[in-house]
């Protein structure tokens, strides 16, 4: 008999090649050790629902008992899953439809008349939650990790990071051209819809504005400052001349007429009324003095934006908000409230410690470590008064004031090394969420997306610790 090696011979089956795909039902067995199943069994769903119920009851003029019933367990599961995976609303709708484990996590077998929410309803549910509530959800996961024994809240590392807003680089030339385009949009709307309400037809010559803008954009790199300012002044004068009639129309609109205008045009009109004249004035002042006005607007659609210069490679300027983060043992994070866009580091120690007390309810903190940006004698005295045993606020070299609680060199080095470990973890939060650059388009949504990035990271950490507890290998 002729012998063949089993690893070299394979027969071929061609069944199904000439047939159409047939829809049908498939029974999928989801193992109890699936990470999402274990996570869903470990989460405090009742506590999470209690957190979000006040926000859900506020909407709809407070008559939350009317209309179709909202499947809170389903929407909350989709919301948590969305932050865990960092998916868009449409991607989440498709994912829950196609993935059996996602369905079970979202309550498929336990919610009566369960169905996959439409992507518009996913967005609507998330929008009903306030920034404060979404911050509490993120911090609730850190507290739950401590209760499960995966974290220890007595050791804290504090650092800040910049969450960049969803906006273009705020160069004056770009914003001037955008202001011209906004005015052209409004002028075109009035010329078509409200001809009776304006005396003369308003036209914004965008070709002339674009021509002046190109003259500035394509200047040689070695052009002198005087040449650049001359081109920018020419663009500013052209924009002023072209949009002045539109600004006057927007300022003279009565309330009855505004109610008849579509929401998108109304939003543009509000931006022109509130920002146009002051912005043109600020650009003119910059050209005269060479110094930017401190309160100059950096965006027309976002108000809570600041410029940060942290000296990072490839990121000389960053535009967005500063967010304060605290890490506890077990690599779980809690996030502080954004009381201001800048959130200076030196002024954030006290609010972060108070936030820690509100979340975990303990006052016996073993150690706190930060970088040099947080140093002040006031902060050291505050931590000493709170009974912190090891105060690891790194000191600048020129500080000669006596430390309230002196430590050994080994202890100082331990805290410095431990604090440096927060940097790559912040990178993971940015990579797995919207803490790096948000894709949201409003100030409220951008702030909320920073909190949800921390929520998603804490959920991923819970999954990792559950695997380690079961003895599974984690990469």
User: In the prediction, which pLDDT does 238 show?
Assistant: 95
Cα(423)–Cα(382) distance, integer angstroms: 25
Tokens 């367990």 sit on residue: 73
User: In the prediction, which pLDDT does 203 show?
Assistant: 86
Q: Are the CB atoms for 101 and 109 separated by under 8 Å?
A: no
Q: What is the dihedral of CA 470, 472, 473, 475, to 10 degrees?
A: -80
User: In the prediction, which pLDDT does 60 show?
Assistant: 64
User: In the prediction, which pLDDT does 260 show?
Assistant: 86
**Domain 146-167+305-440 is found in CATH 1.20.120:** no
- The low-confidence residues of the chain, meaning pLDDT below 70, are 1-8, 60-62, 195-200, 472-475
User: In the prediction, which pLDDT does 2 show?
Assistant: 55
- Phi and psi at residue 329, to the nearest 5°: -60, 140
Q: What predicted TM-score, i.e. pTM, was given to this entire model?
A: 0.90
pLDDT digits (tens, 9 = 90+) for 127-138: 999 999 999 999
User: In the prediction, which pLDDT does 63 show?
Assistant: 75
Tokens representing residue 470 in the block: 């079961």
Q: Are the CB atoms for 387 and 402 separated by under 8 Å?
A: no
User: In the prediction, which pLDDT does 428 show?
Assistant: 94
Any residues with CB less than 8 A from the CB of 243 and at least 6 apart, and which?
Answer: 179, 180, 183, 204, 272, 276
β-pairing verdict for 367-370 and 390-393: parallel
Tokens representing residue 6 in the block: 């089993």
Cα(339)–Cα(451) distance, integer angstroms: 14
Angle at 387 between CA 383 and CA 392, to 5 degrees: 45
Q: Where in the chain are the domains? A: 35-127, 146-167+305-440, 172-289
Question: How far apart, in Å, are the Cα atoms of 302 and each of 319, 395, 451?
Answer: 11, 36, 18
Tokens 């972060």 sit on residue: 352
Kind plus residue range of the DSSP H or E element containing 100 = helix 100-105
User: In the prediction, which pLDDT does 474 show?
Assistant: 45
User: In the prediction, which pLDDT does 25 show?
Assistant: 85
β-pairing verdict for 306-308 and 318-329: antiparallel
Angle at 298 between CA 441 and CA 445, to 5 degrees: 20
User: In the prediction, which pLDDT does 345 show?
Assistant: 92
């Amino acid at each position: 008999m002729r012998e063949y090696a089993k690893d070299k011979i394979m027969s071929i089956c061609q069944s199904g090649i000439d047939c159409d795909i047939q829809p049908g039902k498939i029974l999928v067995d989801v193992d109890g050790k699936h990470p999402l199943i274990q996570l869903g069994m470990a989460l405090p769903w009742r506590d999470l629902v209690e957190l979000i119920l006040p926000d859900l009851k506020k909407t709809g003029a407070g008559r939350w008992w009317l209309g179709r019933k909202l499947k809170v367990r389903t929407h909350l599961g989709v919301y948590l899953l969305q932050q865990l995976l960092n998916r868009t609303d449409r991607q989440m709708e498709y994912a829950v439809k196609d993935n059996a484990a996602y369905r079970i996590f979202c309550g498929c077998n336990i919610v009566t008349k369960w169905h996959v929410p439409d992507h518009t309803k996913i967005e609507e549910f998330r929008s009903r939650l306030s920034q404060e509530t979404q911050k509490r959800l993120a911090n609730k996961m850190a507290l739950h990790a401590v209760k499960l024994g995966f974290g220890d809240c007595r050791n804290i590392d504090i650092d800040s990071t910049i969450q960049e807003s969803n906006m273009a680089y705020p160069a004056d030339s770009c914003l001037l051209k955008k202001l011209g385009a906004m005015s052209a949009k409004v002028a075109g709307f009035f010329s078509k819809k409200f001809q009776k309400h304006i005396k003369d037809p308003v036209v914004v010559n965008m070709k002339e504005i674009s021509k002046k803008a190109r003259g500035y954009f394509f200047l040689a790199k070695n052009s002198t400052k005087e040449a650049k300012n001359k081109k920018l002044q020419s663009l500013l004068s052209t924009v002023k001349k072209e949009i002045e009639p539109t600004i006057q129309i927007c300022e003279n609109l009565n309330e009855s007429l505004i109610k008849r205008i579509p929401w998108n045009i109304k939003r543009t009109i509000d931006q022109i009324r509130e920002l146009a004249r002051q912005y043109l004035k600020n650009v003119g002042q910059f050209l005269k003095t060479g110094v930017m006005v401190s309160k100059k607007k950096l965006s027309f659609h976002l108000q809570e934006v600041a410029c940060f210069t942290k000296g990072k490679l490839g990121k000389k300027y960053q535009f967005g908000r500063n967010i304060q983060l605290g890490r506890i043992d077990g690599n779980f994070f809690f996030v502080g409230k954004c009381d201001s866009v800048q959130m200076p580091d030196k002024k954030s120690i006290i609010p972060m410690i108070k936030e820690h007390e509100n979340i975990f309810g303990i006052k016996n903190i073993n150690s706190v470590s930060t970088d040099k940006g947080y140093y002040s004698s006031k902060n050291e005295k505050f931590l000493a008064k709170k009974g912190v045993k090891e105060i690891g606020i790194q000191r600048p070299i020129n500080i000669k004031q006596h430390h309230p609680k002196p430590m050994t060199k080994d202890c100082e080095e331990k805290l410095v090394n431990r604090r440096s470990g927060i940097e790559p973890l912040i990178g993971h939060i940015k990579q797995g969420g919207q803490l790096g650059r948000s894709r949201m388009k409003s100030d409220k949504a951008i702030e909320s997306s920073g909190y949800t990035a921390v929520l998603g990271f804490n959920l991923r950490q819970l999954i990792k610790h559950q695997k380690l507890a079961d003895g599974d290998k984690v990469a």
